[in-house]
Amino acid sequence: MIVKKRTKPLKLMKLEVLNGRIVQNHSKIHLIGSDFAKYQAGFKGEMSLDFYLKDLNEDEYHIFHDLRLPQSSNEQFYFQIDTLIVHSQFCILIEVKNLIGNLYFDHQFDQMIRTRDGVDETFSDPINQVELQKAQFAKWLKLNKFPEIPLHSLVAITNPKSYIRISPKYGKKSQKIIRGNTLVNKINGYVSSEQESVLLKKDLKRLTKYLIREDTPQNPDILRNYSIQREEIVTGVFCPKCKKPPMIRLKRTWLCLNCSGKSSNAHEKALQDYAL
Ligand SMILES: [Zn+2]
């Protein structure tokens, strides 16, 4: 059962608007464009994970997407979990990676190298990332007086075209890296017929309540993050057909000065953009 659905993150919505409305000659236009593309690919990867998770038994598993919880040591800081799966015997934290190209998990330097079109790009090791989240989640559970429950962590590679290589020195840790299509088997494999339930119905109810209550979606000040001034944003109503400004208001309609397209409600999108 999906308890918390995945929705388009505010940060992605804001990046999308900024990408569409930044003045054309701006020095940061490429940075914003590539950040937007990365976030969008990440979100698509997370969405594609949902496709595999639908095979899990609805009654046994409770799924929470995209959680951002306060760190127990410092409530001003948060930790994020792409997907949390709660079962009466255990919880699983899943970090989702949706990267095109060849991926190499490099044990020696705690990094992941992505090679695409002959270009190498390094990322922090996603196993370390999810292990850190696991430690933070364990503290959070303890702080909120939940029973001690086994925690598992996985890194799901959702792009079926990515070629994965893992350093031989990774050892057992490499079992945490899996593809979307083997996810459900892996999860079901954690269920033990001998083990008793750790989370009783009342615990599960309270855990759900706490997770939803403490979840704090990220709402970044995007203009400040990129040091963009208000004057560097193109204002006004954009054409829904050619995606360009400006549109002018005629009687009960908007007219595009580029493509002569007309729209009755193009201002609605402009108002949403303004709010973001
Ligand atoms: Zn137009």
pLDDT in tens, 154-175: 999 988 888 899 988 888 888 9
Confidence check: pLDDT of 87 > 90:
yes
What pLDDT, on the 0 to 100 scale, is given for residue 222? 95
- Of the chain, the percentage scoring pLDDT greater than 90 comes to 75
Same domain assignment for residues 137 and 197: yes
What residues pack around ion ligand 1 (CB closer than 5 A)?
239, 241-242, 256, 258-259, 261
Same domain assignment for residues 159 and 247: no
Cα 199 from Cα 91, distance rounded (Å) = 10
Question: Would you place residue 270 in the very low, low, confident or very high pLDDT band (cuts 50, 70, 90)?
Answer: very high
- Taking only the tens place, the pLDDT of each residue in 128-154 is 999 999 999 999 999 999 999 999 999
Cα 23 from Cα 245, distance rounded (Å) = 11
Per DSSP bridges, beta strands 177-179 and 151-157 are parallel
Confidence check: pLDDT of 269 > 80:
yes
Same domain assignment for residues 269 and 200: no
Q: Within a domain: residue 230?
A: no
Q: Which residues lie across from 262 on neighbouring strands?
A: 255
Rounded distance from Cα 27 to ligand 1 centre (Å): 26
Q: Within a domain: residue 58?
A: yes
Question: Would you place residue 73 in the very low, low, confident or very high pLDDT band (cuts 50, 70, 90)?
Answer: confident
Predicted TM-score (pTM) of the model is 0.87
Task: Give the mean model confidence (pLDDT) for residues 42-66.
Answer: 91
Rounded distance from Cα 245 to ligand 1 centre (Å): 7
Both ends of the chain: CA-CA distance in Å?
Answer: 31
What pLDDT, on the 0 to 100 scale, is given for residue 61? 95
What pLDDT, on the 0 to 100 scale, is given for residue 168? 86
What pLDDT, on the 0 to 100 scale, is given for residue 120? 93
Q: Within a domain: residue 229?
A: no
Rounded distance from Cα 270 to ligand 1 centre (Å): 14
Structural domains of the chain, count? 2
Rounded distance from Cα 226 to ligand 1 centre (Å): 28
Tell me if 81 sits within 8 A of 133, measured CB to CB. Answer: yes
Mean pLDDT value across the chain: 93
* Residue 76 φ then ψ, to 5°: -80, -15
Rounded distance from Cα 261 to ligand 1 centre (Å): 5
Q: Within a domain: residue 228?
A: no
Same domain assignment for residues 48 and 143: yes
Q: How far is CA 181 from the centre of its chain?
A: 19
Rounded distance from Cα 230 to ligand 1 centre (Å): 24
Same domain assignment for residues 79 and 176: yes
Question: Would you place residue 101 in the very low, low, confident or very high pLDDT band (cuts 50, 70, 90)?
Answer: confident
Cα 235 from Cα 245, distance rounded (Å) = 8
- Taking only the tens place, the pLDDT of each residue in 211-238 is 999 999 999 999 999 999 999 999 999 9
Q: Within a domain: residue 64?
A: yes
Same domain assignment for residues 180 and 61: yes
Q: What is the DSSP letter of 147?
A: P
Same domain assignment for residues 242 and 122: no
Task: Give the mean model confidence (pLDDT) for residues 120-129.
Answer: 91
Task: Give the mean model confidence (pLDDT) for residues 27-43.
Answer: 93
Tell me the residue range of the domain where 213 lies. Answer: 2-222
Q: Within a domain: residue 142?
A: yes
Question: Would you place residue 69 in the very low, low, confident or very high pLDDT band (cuts 50, 70, 90)?
Answer: very high
